[in-house]
A and B are shown apart, each in its own frame.
Chain A
Amino acid sequence: MQTFPIQKIIEHGPGVKSFYFPKTFDVRAGQFVNLWLPGVDEKPFSVSAVMGDWIEISVKRYGPFTTALMECREGDYLGLRGPFGRGFTLQNNALLIGGGIGIAPLRLLAQELNVRGLRFVSLLGAATAYEIIFARDFQKQSVCYFTTDDGSMGKKGLVTDDLVDIIAKEKIEYIYAAGPEIMFVKTKELIDPLGLPYEFCMERYMKCGIGICGQCVLDDSGLRLCVEGPVLNRDDLKEVTELGLLHRDASGRRV
Chain B
Amino acid sequence: MKTIHLIKPDFLNLKMDSPLVLASGILGLTASSMARVIRFGAGAVTSKSFNLEWRKGHRNPSIIPFEHGLLNAVGLSNPGVDEMVKEIRLFRQKSEAPIFASIFGRTIEEFAEVAKRAAEARPHLIEVNVSCPNVRSEFGTPFGDSPQDTAQITRLVKKAAGDIPVSVKLGPHGPGIGLMARVCEENGADAITAINTAGPGMLIDIRVRKPVLSNKTGGISGPAILPIAVKSVYEVYENVRIPIIATGGVTHWQDAVQMLLAGATLIGVGTAVYYEGMEVFGKINKGIEGYMRENGFSALKELRGLAHE
Contacts and interface: CB of A to CB of B under 8 A. Distances in A.
B205 A210 contact: no
Contacts of A138: none
Contact of A222 (B32, B57, B62): B32
A210 B74 CA distance: 14
B32 A1 contact: no
Interface in B28-71: 28-30, 32-37, 39, 48, 54-57, 59-65, 70
A79 B212 contact: yes
A119 interface: no
B210 A38 contact: yes
A42 B60 contact: yes
Contact of B274 (A3, A39, A43, A210): A210
Interface stretch (A55-63, A159-167, A195-203, A212-220): A212-220
A204 to B, nearest CB: 12
A213 B25 contact: yes
B48 A41 contact: no
| Interface size classification for chain B | 35 or more
A212 B271 contact: yes
B61 A39 contact: no
Interface in B195-248: 203, 205, 207-208, 210, 212, 214
Contacts of B214: 41-42
A250 B27 CA distance: 14
A221 interface: yes
Given A1-B212, A207-B60, A251-B56, A214 B27 contact: yes
Contact of A77 (B34, B48, B208): B208
A215 B30 CA distance: 9
B83 interface: yes
B61 A212 contact: no
Interface in B52-104: 54-57, 59-65, 70, 74, 77-80, 83
A252 B63 contact: no
Given A210-B65, A222-B33, A217 B27 contact: yes
Contact of B63 (A39, A207, A251): A207
B26 A213 contact: yes
A77 B29 contact: no
Given A79-B212, A254-B83, A38 B32 contact: no
Interface in A207-234: 207-208, 210-215, 217-224
B273 interface: yes
Contact of A36 (B27, B63, B212, B274): B212
A23 to B, nearest CB: 18
B80 A253 contact: yes
B264 to A, nearest CB: 22
15 contacts: A38-B205, A42-B214, A207-B60, A211-B274, A212-B274, A213-B63, A221-B36, A222-B30, A249-B56, A250-B56, A250-B57, A250-B77, A251-B80, A252-B79, A253-B83
Interface of A: 1, 3, 34, 36, 38-43, 77, 79, 207-208, 210-215, 217-224, 248-254
- Nearest 6 A/B pairs, CB to CB: A222-B36, A42-B60, A252-B79, A217-B33, A208-B63, A214-B27
Given A214-B48, A220-B32, A251-B79, 18 more contacts: A3-B207, A3-B208, A34-B60, A36-B212, A38-B205, A40-B59, A207-B60, A207-B74, A207-B77, A208-B63, A211-B274, A217-B36, A222-B33, A224-B33, A248-B79, A251-B54, A252-B48, A252-B83
